[in-house]
Amino acid sequence: MDFFYTNLIYLIPVFGLIGIAVMAVKAAWVVKQDAGDGDMAQLAGYIADGAMAFLRAEWKVLSYFVVIAGLLLAYSGTTVDTSSPVIAISFVVGAFLSAFAGYLGMRIATKANVRTTQAARTSLAQALKVSFTGGTVMGLGVAGLAIIGLGSLFIVFYTIYVKNVAGASVNGEAMAKALDVLAGFSLGAESIALFARVGGGIYTKAADVGADLVGKVEAGIPEDDVRNPATIADNVGDNVGDVAGMGADLFGSYVATMLATMVLGREIVSPDSFGGIAPVLLPMVIAGLGLIFSIVGASFVKINKETDSVQSALNIGNWASIILTAIATFFLVNWMLPAYVFHMKRDELGGGMLKGGSIEFTRGDVFGAIVVGLVVGTLMSMITEYYTAMGKRPVLGIIKQSSTGHATNIIAGLAVGMESTVLPILVLAAGIYGSYHFAGLYGVAIAAAGMMATTAMQLSIDAFGPIADNAGGIAEMSRLPEEVRHRTDNLDAVGNTTAATGKGFAIASAALTSLALFAAFVGVAGIEHIDIYKADVLAGLFVGGMIPFIFSALAISAVGRAAMAMVEEVRRQFREIPGIMEYKAKPEYEKCVAISTKASIREMVAPGLIALITPIIVGFIFGPEVLGGLLAGVTVSGVLMGIFQSNAGGAWDNAKKSFEKGVEINGEMYYKKSEPHKASVTGDTVGDPFKDTSGPSMNILIKLMSIVSLVIAPHLQKDLSHNPRLQREIHTQSMVAPVAKPVSKI
């Protein structure tokens, strides 16, 4: 163990490399599968081309953004601190890796979809294998690149700022600077996530709503019908929004939780273990173990017979990775941490002396906090499933209220969405309380890190859904035999459930990540309190609470506008291209793809700017404490709006789907095309932007605003935050004896 003990820091990127190696093998396997022929291959080609067209357009805008933001970061860095230009490099690397992970995932997803369709001609087991392997490529790619990037940059910055500097303390300002610079990596990743998630969300729903409104409602042709000019855009959207968007979202959460835990870990005094940096390394090592056990868990996901349950196979894999990671983490924490550690305040660290007021906790407490994180993530997924699953009370209530028309269906769905915030918030509040109880703010952060440990597995399951959905679409459009479609439908149904639980997990992770970042921000900004009894902080809380509302309004309206443009284009093609309806002429799919692409790129700018610029303005004009109030407001309101919108949308969706099998209301059976079913379609359409655009955007919003605040935190002037005339605080110096000596670097 001695080798590991000395070189642990250099082993972290190795975990990532293992993930990437396994990913490469799996990707090669997927590409090797039979891609089918004729119509299938052609349609899959359209989808892949559309997806790449979107990525290229997005990257063009993003490259401008990254260059400008990078230059600004570098320039503002030079004005306050000569070493800060380095943060720009960190930022660019983060942005590049996040975009690259999205590219890999989407590339393989657009290959796996048609290969899944082809495999479904053979057996369900084979179709699951292809689609899930496609998903694992995304999962392993995201996690692997994140660990390689963060781990390598940390080695570089640690070497430059701490190890090679005489007299630098691993708990002191030198390490703080290394981590401040590292924060740029997370900022880069989350900025890409914003555009991927919001842009992707607008793309997919503009195409979906537009395709449905003309195709299903006006022309009366089925969903995924090859005659609908918007159908390719719709299928591209699944990849753009659900694969690349979700991937970027979780890439951001994964990196940010590690970073926040590292920032808080610097304040943990852990003498004689790994040169005192064990609390900083811990979150990255946990993530590394989680990645390895995700690979193990993924190998359990398989079925043998047509009648085996796909859902059970996924559950077994998921649980295996979680439980194995938890067990491994127990030993890891015991190996890495001393029996007792202390938490110090940032101000107390620089001078080499520890003041009083520190809290002390054991390594067992740290493990306890990690378990809290795992439990919170699991419960959040379960609650989300309850509120959006077919056959449960919430969805049944919406079905019943569909019988009196469109309006009561909408009212029921909105009420379900609002009600569904109760349990998640109680779980989250208990999670905050519990993890803090175990290990203070470090506990809150490490809980988030624990929850995110198996991100590779979660994302594999998430990405499986849209691949299966696409596979079904291709089967439908190519008019393949009934049994093939039956198999892809089976996979797609499971994919709908995993989409719902995945959203619950994504919101929970965003919430805990934001809290960890929030705690890190307060430490880095060097403030003692965020006191909402102060009027300006309270005003910040109000303004922060409002931001998710305007962000949602912008996202929803963007979908509305883009969908109207799509509707007009589809109507135009039906009118001007004769023979579409008779399969004699091909619709101009690329025109619809272009509309979605253009709209999503254009419409993501305004919400993006709000998220990026608000913390900067508030922080520099009103100071860090008001900015803290703003962040708290954004986080609380964003989590609530995220849960409300995602769950309302999910419940409406499944209420509508229930009619396809037939539902009983007051003793009568209703099916597709009945009046209650039409009402349920209205709810589903309202729910589309809720659950796939504005709802999930809340994750990015709260994380991005927190990470921007963390990055600017060292540059904010504390005394700006209050009008000195109104200053009621009495600042006194406390004089308490030091409780521990600072520890030296490796």
Restricting to residues 634-693, which ones interact with its own copies according to CB under 8 A? 636-637, 639-640, 644, 681-683, 685-686, 689
The smaller minimum CB distance to its own copies, of residues 165 and 605, is found at 605
Contact 255, 700 (CB under 8 A): no
The smaller minimum CB distance to its own copies, of residues 31 and 359, is found at 359
- The site for its own copies, by CB under 8 A, has a size of 94
By rule CB under 8 A, what string of x and - marks binding of each residue 304-333 to its own copies?
------------------------------
CB of 422 to its own copies, least distance (A): 5
- On the 0-12 / 13-18 / 19+ scale of CB atoms within 10 A, 11 is middle
Q: Show contacts with its own copies in window 178-237 (CB under 8 A).
A: 209, 213, 217
79 sits near its own copies (criterion: CB under 8 A): no
Give the pairing type, strands 268-269 and 668-670: unpaired
Q: Show contacts with its own copies in window 549-588 (CB under 8 A).
A: 549-550, 552-554, 556-557, 559-560, 563-564, 567
Beta-bridge partner residues of 641: none
CB of 577 to its own copies, least distance (A): 22
CB of 517 to its own copies, least distance (A): 13
Beta-bridge partner residues of 362: 340
**Tokens 């500097």 sit at which residue?**
165
Residue choice 163, 302, 345, 598 for contact with its own copies (CB under 8 A): 345
Residue choice 216, 302, 392, 437 for contact with its own copies (CB under 8 A): 437
Q: Closest by alpha carbon to 522, among 445, 625, 615?
A: 625
- Rounded to 10 deg, the angle between the 482-525 and 246-265 helix axes is 30
Query: φ and ψ at 268, to 5 degrees?
Result: -95, 120
The smaller minimum CB distance to its own copies, of residues 474 and 655, is found at 655
Residue choice 545, 615, 650, 695 for contact with its own copies (CB under 8 A): 545
Beta-bridge partner residues of 343: 268, 359
Pairwise CA distance, residues 427 & 558, whole Å? 33
CB of 323 to its own copies, least distance (A): 27
Pairwise CA distance, residues 624 & 521, whole Å? 9
CB of 688 to its own copies, least distance (A): 9
The smaller minimum CB distance to its own copies, of residues 316 and 539, is found at 539
Pairwise CA distance, residues 478 & 42, whole Å? 10
CB of 141 to its own copies, least distance (A): 33
By rule CB under 8 A, what string of x and - marks binding of each residue 54-73 to its own copies?
--------------------
The smaller minimum CB distance to its own copies, of residues 253 and 402, is found at 402
By rule CB under 8 A, what string of x and - marks binding of each residue 113-142 to its own copies?
------------------------------
Q: Show contacts with its own copies in window 474-493 (CB under 8 A).
A: none
Residue choice 165, 539, 565, 743 for contact with its own copies (CB under 8 A): 539
Stretch that binds its own copies, among 257-265, 309-317, 430-438, 501-509 (CB under 8 A): 430-438
Residue choice 543, 565, 606, 743 for contact with its own copies (CB under 8 A): 543
Q: Show contacts with its own copies in window 496-535 (CB under 8 A).
A: 515, 519, 522, 528-533, 535
Rg of the chain in Å (alpha carbons): 26
The smaller minimum CB distance to its own copies, of residues 140 and 686, is found at 686
By rule CB under 8 A, what string of x and - marks binding of each residue 582-621 to its own copies?
----------------------------------------
Stretch that binds its own copies, among 291-299, 309-317, 422-430, 457-465 (CB under 8 A): 422-430
Kindly write down the DSSP assignment for every residue of 396-427, as one continuous string. HHHHHHGGG-HHHHHHHHHHHHHHTTHHHHHH
Q: Show contacts with its own copies in window 687-746 (CB under 8 A).
A: 689, 723, 725-730, 732, 734, 736
CB of 456 to its own copies, least distance (A): 29
The smaller minimum CB distance to its own copies, of residues 209 and 287, is found at 209
Provide CB contacts within 8 A for 407, sequence distance 6+: none
The smaller minimum CB distance to its own copies, of residues 30 and 636, is found at 636
Residue type, 691: K
CB of 540 to its own copies, least distance (A): 8
Contact 94, 184 (CB under 8 A): yes
CB of 722 to its own copies, least distance (A): 10
The smaller minimum CB distance to its own copies, of residues 128 and 448, is found at 448
Q: Show contacts with its own copies in window 402-421 (CB under 8 A).
A: 404-408, 410-412, 414-416, 418-419, 421
Provide CB contacts within 8 A for 514, sequence distance 6+: 631, 635, 638, 702, 703, 706
CB of 724 to its own copies, least distance (A): 10
CB of 481 to its own copies, least distance (A): 34
**Tokens 């922080």 sit at which residue?**
619
Which strand (E) or helix (H) includes residue 467? helix 455-477
CB of 202 to its own copies, least distance (A): 13
Q: Show contacts with its own copies in window 439-468 (CB under 8 A).
A: 440-441, 444
CB crowding 682-710: b at 16 or more within 10 Å, else e: bbbbbbbbbbbbbbbbbbbbbbbbbbbbb
CB of 633 to its own copies, least distance (A): 6
Q: To 5 degrees, how large is the angle CA 353–CA 355–CA 356?
A: 150
The smaller minimum CB distance to its own copies, of residues 35 and 359, is found at 359
CB of 66 to its own copies, least distance (A): 29
CB of 709 to its own copies, least distance (A): 13
CB of 372 to its own copies, least distance (A): 12
The smaller minimum CB distance to its own copies, of residues 64 and 549, is found at 549
The smaller minimum CB distance to its own copies, of residues 5 and 433, is found at 433
Give the pairing type, strands 340-343 and 668-670: unpaired
Residue choice 199, 472, 623, 628 for contact with its own copies (CB under 8 A): 628
Pairwise CA distance, residues 637 & 701, whole Å? 11
- On the 0-12 / 13-18 / 19+ scale of CB atoms within 10 A, 733 is exposed
Pairwise CA distance, residues 188 & 193, whole Å? 9
Question: What's the farthest any 2 CA atoms get from each other in the chain?
Answer: 87
Contact 424, 383 (CB under 8 A): yes
The smaller minimum CB distance to its own copies, of residues 307 and 733, is found at 733
3-class DSSP string for 192-248: HHHHHHHHHHHHHHHHHHHHHHHHHHHHCCCCCCCCCCCHHHHHHHHHHHHHHHHHH
The smaller minimum CB distance to its own copies, of residues 440 and 450, is found at 440
CB of 78 to its own copies, least distance (A): 31
CB of 414 to its own copies, least distance (A): 6
**Tokens 């004009």 sit at which residue?**
621
Q: Closest by alpha carbon to 654, among 679, 674, 684?
A: 684
Contact 573, 594 (CB under 8 A): no
Structure tokens at 430: 């208990």
Which strand (E) or helix (H) includes residue 310? helix 310-336
Q: Show contacts with its own copies in window 350-379 (CB under 8 A).
A: 356-359
- CA distances from residue 403 to 207, 613, 649, 688 in whole angstroms, order as listed: 29, 46, 19, 21
Stretch that binds its own copies, among 30-38, 306-314, 321-329, 536-544 (CB under 8 A): 536-544
The smaller minimum CB distance to its own copies, of residues 466 and 628, is found at 628
